[in-house]
Amino acid sequence: MFNGEKLALARRRVGLTKVALAQKAGITTRALNAFENGEYTPSEATEQLLAQALGFPASFFYGESLEELDEHGVSFRSLKRMTASQKHAALAAGSFAYEINKWIDQRFSLPLPNVPNLHGESPSNAARIVRDEWGIGKLSISNMIHLVEANGVRVYSLFENAKEVDAFSVWNGNTPFIFSNRLKSSAHRRFDIAHELGHLVLHRHGAPSGPVAEKEADQFASAFLMPSDTIKAIGFSIESLDAVLRLKERWMVSPGALTRRLKDTGMISEWTYRSICIEISQRGYRTSEPNDYPHETSKVWQKITESLRASGQTLQSVSDEIGIPYDELQKLVWGLVTVGIPSDSKAIQSTRRGSLKLVN
């Protein structure tokens, strides 16, 4: 039967209000309300008009409702700058990811979640604890996606052409999810993933929220990516942006993030910090990343696509099986399945067709 909830989900995914969709499809807002609320079923002709206006196949409007994200449990990276339509579109993408993840869990064995609940810990102490539990000590992290996947976090891409939609995270039961925008620079995305990991670790049960929680997640990300001991072991004074640019390769972060970390650890003065920040702005490095790094990719999706290929399947066949539009599936894994840079000591390896296993 026609499912009005899925029509509403598709509408939110493309960022349209009811009035805008009704106008685009050439129907009344009252009729659209009735369709979404399950009061009436659209005719076949009207169904096609709605599908065309949304860019979704009409078949999507049938079948069971998708599990939707609890908005109150979602941590958005830039909530204040997001419009309501941007937020609802991102949440709808999360619903598609839930369906994809259910399909994966039925067919593959992925690492179990190993994300400790450190509510009440200071961000810096929480970062140290996670590093210790994950066995990375003070080492630089070569690939954030590989690292969090190896510890049971499900990572998906956002394909939102809006700078306000950076990243968000959410717990679905006992499974942690991180969504990050692939249109951002690699350095920016690494920090976003670390930031969202901070939310998963520090704020699983809510409070604090808002600016306080965002500040704590930033502090966690900074300490997690750039441990204070390694920063303090630099061994020479930092007086200019050029010195920062030479150093950032060690931690693969943006010059702004490294400069802030140098100040927070007492390695540079407030005056030097302000001077370097001014130079960062003057060179345009707040909007473009100098000497950016290759985008990180997913071990999980690499192994899944290898398994699909070996069995003669494609992402299109997965899309058909789970009823998620192919374009939406592509967006959620876009950039996650190309050749990536080496991971840390933990890796996910395929031991048989249709199986993923975590090995040391």
- What residue type is 190 in one-letter code? R
pLDDT reported for residue 159: 80
- Lowest mean pLDDT of 76-90, 269-283, 319-333, name the range: 76-90
**Paired sense of beta strands 167-172 and 175-181, if any:** antiparallel
Which residues share a beta bridge with 36?
none
For the record, the structure tokens of 243 come out as 């010195």
For the record, the structure tokens of 87 come out as 């937020």
pLDDT digits (tens, 9 = 90+) for 184-209: 889 999 999 999 999 999 998 665 67
26-65 burial, b at 16+ Cβ within 10 Å, e below that, comes to ebeeeebeebbeeeeebeeebbebbbebbebbbebbeeee
Taking CA atoms, 46 is separated from 23, 50, 196, 241, in Å, by 13, 6, 41, 59
Q: Using 50, 70 and 90 to split pLDDT, how confident is the model at 259?
A: very high
Please say if the pLDDT value at position 343 is more than 70.
no
Kindly give the residue spans of alpha helices, DSSP state H, lying in the chain: 4-13, 18-25, 29-36, 44-54, 84-107, 123-133, 144-150, 186-202, 210-225, 228-232, 241-247, 255-264, 270-282, 299-310, 315-322, 326-333
Which residues share a beta bridge with 181?
158
| Cα dihedral sign, 249-251-254-255 | negative
pLDDT digits (tens, 9 = 90+) for 51-66: 999 999 999 999 999 9
- Lowest mean pLDDT of 57-71, 198-212, 254-268, 314-328, name the range: 198-212
Residue 208, preceding peptide bond in cis (omega within 30° of 0)? yes
Please say if the pLDDT value at position 354 is more than 90.
no
Residue 310 CA to residue 11 CA, distance in Å, equals 36
Residue 25 CA to residue 10 CA, distance in Å, equals 14
pLDDT reported for residue 337: 75
Residue 307 CA to residue 285 CA, distance in Å, equals 40
pLDDT digits (tens, 9 = 90+) for 303-313: 998 998 899 98
Residue 152 CA to residue 177 CA, distance in Å, equals 9
Residue with tokens 């209000």: 17
The percentage of the chain sitting over the pLDDT mark of 90, rounded to a whole number, equals: 66
Do 187 and 293 touch, CB atoms closer than 8 A? yes
Complete DSSP assignment for 79-110:
GGG--HHHHHHHHHHHHHHHHHHHHHHHH--P
Choose from 77-86, 113-122, 294-303 the range with maximum mean pLDDT.
113-122
Residue 309 CA to residue 304 CA, distance in Å, equals 9
